[in-house]
A and B are shown apart, each in its own frame.
Chain A
Amino acid sequence: MNSLVLLNGSPRGERSNSMKMLARVAEGWERGGGRTPEVLHLAQRSEFDRAVQAFGESDVVLLGMPLYTDAMPGIVKLYIEALAPRVEVAAAGERNPTLGFLVQSGFPEALHSRLLERYLEKLARRLGSPYAGTIVRGWGEALQMMPDEANKKLWARLRTLGEQLARDGRFGEEELDAVAGTERFSALAAALLSVALRLPAVQFMWNRRLKKNGVWERRFAAPYRPALRTGR
């Protein structure tokens, strides 16, 4: 377990929440004795092609992504489709790398990402790859909003996961659970949150940007509503 390829599946590329988290896992990986990983952003065309090639050359591949409409982003699916020849390769007895994943979502509860996690685990099986596990984390946009100080605990846990990957070839369950945080809201929390979300202040992250862009008044625009259509 020595060489690692870090694949960032965020369409945002380098400046993404996925990359922020992957970078911490990579730090832990090196601390655990792994070689400095190659980092590739799938959103970059040239790096995408390299990533297809790199899959077969590495001991471990860690693929991170944001949750997009409850699944992987289109670009990540495109990458997975490009791995189809590796299924044949594995069937012919050649080895595929150990596969680990990171999925982070906008919504805070981990449950949103669990079906994608199931898909990814199956993907590892399909490729005949040893499965290192999937790091799941909600509230991904908070990483941008918080000062780095506030994320210190999370960074430490991600480094630990990286160390485990280098040492044991897989993530530890306990650490995965800790990073995942809230699985789902309790009935009480859901009720309280439901009320709180009616306060405009709670939606500040959207309101601030709508106002800054001068489109606050148009925030409820429904441009495709059939009744409003002209010329029909």
Chain B
Amino acid sequence: MRITILNGDPDPASAFQLYVQQVAGRLADSGHTVTTLNLRDLDLKGCSGCFGCWVKTPGECVKRDDSARVCRAVIDSSLTVLASPIVMGFTTALLKRATDQMIPLVHPYFVVQGGEMHHRPRYAKYPALGLLLGAGSNCDAEDIEIATAIWKRTARNLKFRTVFTAVADRSAKEVADELARVA
């Protein structure tokens, strides 16, 4: 199966980075096609809120940057894993910048979904979503709870199914095996 990992860790030398690498390696070893995008290495200009991706160049950001690569890798996968350390109580600005630029994956039209206002899907199929959080020293259980709850909402909004959430406190092997099972 095709798995895309979006790594929002800005630090290439961190323990979390190494952990994500190990998870990716284990998944590849067990036969999955894994694409890891280290977001810090990409040119992501960020969303300016122009809605051009909905009304000017439908389905694509008007900015010529690597956000197209990110969107393509997400739609192309059956499981997308968002990986990020918790900084100031939430996933990193780097990951948020990348996900802000994912709204071209849905359609502007409003629909009611689960009794709430949401958007019409643009694609017939969306990946399942996994969330892998790194808990640093200034992070408590409430931070993890809030961040997880927010990402579950985001997933629903973007039409992903959340199938997995974890804090990186178990072995990379264990996490990878569970990811492979739920995907």
Contacts and interface: CB of A to CB of B under 8 A. Distances in A.
Contacts of A77: 88, 90, 92-93, 96-97
A210 B76 contact: no
B88 A81 contact: yes
Interface of A: 10-12, 16, 43, 66, 68-75, 77-78, 80-81, 83-84, 87, 107-109, 111-112, 115-116, 118-119, 122-123, 126, 184-185, 187, 190, 193-194, 197, 202-203, 206, 209-210, 213, 215, 218-226
A11 B88 contact: no
Contact of B47 (A11, A119, A221): A11
B62 to A, nearest CB: 11
Contacts of B142: 122
B24 interface: no
Contacts, number: 163
12 contacts: A11-B46, A12-B48, A70-B157, A74-B46, A81-B93, A119-B146, A122-B89, A194-B112, A197-B109, A221-B59, A224-B68, A225-B124
Given A11-B47, A116-B150, A224-B71, A71 B55 contact: no
Contacts of B90: 71-72, 77, 80, 119
Give the bracket for the number of chain B residues in contact with chain A: 35 or more
Interface stretch (B13-21, B98-106, B173-181): B98-106
B158 A69 contact: yes
SS class of chain B's interface: helix, strand, loop or mixed? mixed
Given A69-B154, A119-B146, A225 B47 contact: no
Nearest to B107: A220
Interface of B: 46-51, 54-60, 68, 71-72, 75-76, 87-90, 92-94, 96-100, 102-103, 105, 107-112, 115-118, 122-124, 138, 142-143, 146-147, 149-150, 153-154, 157-158
